[in-house]
């Protein structure tokens, strides 16, 4: 595991290459996107906080649209998977080390309506990390209450694992 305090580092999404930076939710290159950012911590968690705009209310007034919640879990989950993979491999968060992950399976339990006009916080933690996939759980809280939880299977994008030399691994 890297020894530096990862919580003060850049977001995982800031390390995405341009070819992977066009997602509406988390892509830094999307001109109208949300530019969500996930942060990896030494305690084995990955966090994201955002305050959704009023446009993302759903069919129930004053509550966040379920599809938006699914998008938060999707974007945060794949970023978290990439971060957990780095921790598992003992590598630091850098663009040259980052492996991209994509969603293979996502299941969501909606526990309570998620109110608008407040910070929504997501926390992810890994259940299993291999050289090809990461299984993780996530929770979503708003207004001091757990509103939804999710389980994701994310798989490494591409067929080849990057080969790093010893000097690269120290960065």
Each residue's pLDDT tens digit, 104-148: 999 999 999 999 999 999 999 999 999 999 999 999 999 999 999
How much is the pLDDT for 98? 83
Q: Which two tokens stand for residue 40?
A: 């990896």
Q: Where are the alpha helices (DSSP H) in 23-170?
A: 66-89, 166-170
Q: What's the pTM?
A: 0.84
Per-residue model confidence as pLDDT tens digits over 82-109: 999 999 999 988 888 888 899 999 999 9
Strand ranges, E, within 1-96: 39-40, 46-50
CB 12 within 8 A of CB 91: no
């Amino acid at each position: 595991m890297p020894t530096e305090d990862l919580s003060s580092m850049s977001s995982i999404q800031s390390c995405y290459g341009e070819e992977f930076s066009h997602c509406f939710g988390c892509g830094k290159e999307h001109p109208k996107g949300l530019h969500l950012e996930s942060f990896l911590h030494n305690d084995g968690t990955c966090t994201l906080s955002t305050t959704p705009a009023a446009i993302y209310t759903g069919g129930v007034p004053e509550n966040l649209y379920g599809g938006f919640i699914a998008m938060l879990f999707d974007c945060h989950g794949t970023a978290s998977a990439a971060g957990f993979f780095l921790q598992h491999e003992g590598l630091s968060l850098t663009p040259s080390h980052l492996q991209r992950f994509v969603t293979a399976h996502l299941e969501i339990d909606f526990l309570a309506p998620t109110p608008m006009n407040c910070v929504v916080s997501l926390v992810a933690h890994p259940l299993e990390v291999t050289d090809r996939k990461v299984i993780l759980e996530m929770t979503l809280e708003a207004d001091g209450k757990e509103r939804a939880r999710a389980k994701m299977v994310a798989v490494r994008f591409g067929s080849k694992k990057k080969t790093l030399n010893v000097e690269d691994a120290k960065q």
